[in-house]
Amino acid sequence: MTDSYGGYRARLVEALREQGIRDMAVLRAFGETPRHLFVPEALRRRAYDDAALPIGHGQTISQPSTQAQYLGALDLQGRERVLEVGTGSGYQAALLSHLVPRVVSVECVRELAEQAMAALAAAGVQNVLVIAGDGSLGWRPEAPYDAVLVSAASPAVPEPLLHQLAEGGKLVVPIQRGSTQELVRVVRRGDTFAHDHLGEAHFVPLRGRHGFPQGEA
Ligand code: SAH
């Protein structure tokens, strides 16, 4: 990726490294993904800050260090089929596109889904399918998934996403508990699902059938 933002990108990678992100493939993905194409034009100056930024429709592009933590929790090996719930800007999907061969990403706000598709195309990403719809239901046509990331806080782990996990598959989802959120990882072994907790999270609420009704949370 050669553009005038290369120096900023290198600094972002350095900042992530200083925060303890060690996964080389993840760091490389941040070095190769043009985040400025995924933020509104007026905010491009700040595109490589380690900060969440508004993307319209009351939504945000998540903080890079949070996304790096997420990717680390999935421990991707490079062969997985991945489902993302909450495309938002499309940036996380673009990062994933460097790490795995296939990404399906579902976004419930149609305008954001369309914006994300345009940004992904501008970034030259070809292995991400963006669907406009309710991602709390997953996306059956391409299931099962080796990894599922939910980029919005949910009242509980959405059932359909568990059913769409492959054997040994991992799901990462922020769960809302009162006024705080906790990042939870679920690993599937046959019909059992092992949970572990990865610390605090800060995400916008999940909507849709298995999310929060509009106006709540
Ligand atoms: N990963 C994104 C940030 C996601 S913000 C990025 O890299 O920019 C969370 C997104 O989840 C918002 O865009 C919101 O509209 C979307 N969302 C919330 N509930 C959803 C649902 N049920 N299905 C699909 N998308 C949902």
In this predicted model, what pLDDT tens digit does every residue of 119-143 receive, in sequence order? 999 999 999 999 999 999 999 999 9
Q: Which one-letter amino acid corresponds to residue 36?
A: H
Structure tokens of 41? 């034009």
Q: What is the structure's pLDDT at 1?
A: 66
- Treating both helix axes as pointing N-terminal to C-terminal, what angle do 24-32 and 64-74 enclose, rounded to 10 degrees? 140
For residue 184, how far is its CA from the centre of ligand 1 (angstroms)? 17
62 is catalytic: yes
Q: Is the dihedral of CA 51, 154, 164, 112 positive or negative?
A: negative
Q: Is 176's pLDDT higher than 90?
A: yes
For residue 61, how far is its CA from the centre of ligand 1 (angstroms)? 9
Q: What mean pLDDT do residues 38-60 have? A: 94
Q: Are 169 and 187 in contact (CB under 8 A)?
A: yes
Distance CA 106, CA 110 (A): 10
The per-residue pLDDT of the chain, averaged, comes to 96
For residue 20, how far is its CA from the centre of ligand 1 (angstroms)? 26
For residue 56, how far is its CA from the centre of ligand 1 (angstroms)? 12
Q: Is 42 helix (H, G, I), strand (E, B) or coil?
A: helix
Atom of ligand 1 nearest to the CA of 112: 13
Q: What mean pLDDT do residues 207-211 have? A: 98
Q: Is 33's pLDDT higher than 90?
A: yes
pLDDT digits (tens, 9 = 90+) for 88-98: 999 999 999 99
pTM of the predicted protein model = 0.96
Q: Which residues pair with 105 in a beta bridge?
A: 84, 130
Atom of ligand 1 nearest to the CA of 55: 8
Task: Provide the percentage of residues in the chain whose pLDDT is more than 70.
Answer: 98
> Which residue ranges have their beta carbon within 6 Å of ligand 1?
59-62, 85-86, 88-89, 91-92, 106-109, 112, 134-136, 151-152, 204, 206-208, 211
- Which of 36, 83, 107 to probe ligand 1 with, by most ligand atoms within 8 A of CB? 107
Distance CA 134, CA 63 (A): 23
Q: Residue 46 to residues 5, 36, 51, 53: CA-CA distances in angstroms?
A: 11, 8, 8, 8
| Separation of CA 52 from chain center | 13
